[in-house]
Amino acid sequence: MACLGVRETRDRLRQGRSTVADHVGSVLEDIGKRDGELGAYVSVAGDEALRAAAAADARIRALGPAAWRDRPLLGVTLSVKDLIQTADLPT
């Protein structure tokens, strides 16, 4: 699921065909397999991503479709370019 686009990822999550934790795990696994060769990431906040995924899954279980009402990209992963300053991560 790591290579899916934003819309397809969002739809799979909303349809219950995947959990956020599974999606994040897939993305982290893909990064682990490829980044040694590519060197695309300065840092990866894997533990933080997994904690956020668990919280997103809990929100989805609690609220159902309403979970996305004010968070339309809930569960969709993104990478932040290292030129953008972030708190607690090297840039």
Closest CA to 31 of 16, 14, 49: 49
Model confidence, pTM: 0.86
What are 61-88's pLDDT values in tens digits? 999 999 999 999 999 998 887 777 777 7
Please count the other Cβ atoms lying within 10 Å of the Cβ belonging to residue 81: 8
What are 9-44's pLDDT values in tens digits? 999 999 999 999 999 999 999 999 988 888 888 888
30 in Cβ contact with 2 (< 8 Å): yes
39: left (phi over 0), alpha (psi -120 to 50) or beta: left
Cα separation, 20 vs 13, in Å, equals 7
